[in-house]
Amino acid sequence: MRISHCIVSAALALPVAALADDHQHSLEAHVHGIATLNIALEEQQLELQIESPAMNIVGFEYQPKTATDKQTVEAAQSTLKDAAALFVLNPAAQCTLTSVSVDNDLLEETDEHDHDHESHSDVESHDAEHSHSDINAHYHYHCSKPAALNNLDLAGFFKQFPRTEKIRVQFITADQQQGVELSHEHTQFNW
């Protein structure tokens, strides 16, 4: 009895190690606590693109089940759409927000579920396979004086979503590209 139990454990050890290795690869793009922000400035068009694990934004990554879960996701969704509460651009650049879109894994699945009750078991197995969820948000601004734009402060974002520990920023214009890592202690990006 005891010997066969040992053999089973040894046989299981190998695939688990292989899985852990796979997991390391996926973590490069999805690490809890870390978000990425791409900033693209082209003439008077400024685009901010945030990509974040849902964990940083709502505190969980499973499909919302209870009323409280759903409220948390909806509250995070409206905070994400409130660009002024998240980003401060230097006023001299005279940037105005022209559009916002939020791509939220935790909302899409909810919609699908509501519309198609028959595929309930499919949705559940889908959840089990995809235990991670992301939230991406795009913000477009029109800046009347883009040459004056040389600063972005993310203090608001860190305050609204304190589970975000670091934001990896990539800034791209026609003639320059630079990257910086921001945190709660260091929220400003100057270029």
Interface contacts to Zn ion, rule CB under 5 A: 53, 61, 132
How many alpha carbons fall within 13 Å on the CB side of residue 95?
28
Check: CB of residue 171 under 8 Å from CB of residue 179: yes
Nearer to Zn ion, 32 or 140 (CB): 32
Nearer to Zn ion, 51 or 152 (CB): 51
Token look-up 């990006």 returns 189
Residue 144 phi/psi, 5-degree rounding, is: -70, -35
Shortest distance in whole angstroms from residue 10 CB to Zn ion: 30
Nearer to Zn ion, 59 or 156 (CB): 59
Nearer to Zn ion, 50 or 95 (CB): 50
Check: CB of residue 69 under 8 Å from CB of residue 54: no
Shortest distance in whole angstroms from residue 80 CB to Zn ion: 17
Shortest distance in whole angstroms from residue 182 CB to Zn ion: 20
Shortest distance in whole angstroms from residue 133 CB to Zn ion: 7
Q: How far apart are CA 31 and CA 149, in angstroms?
A: 30
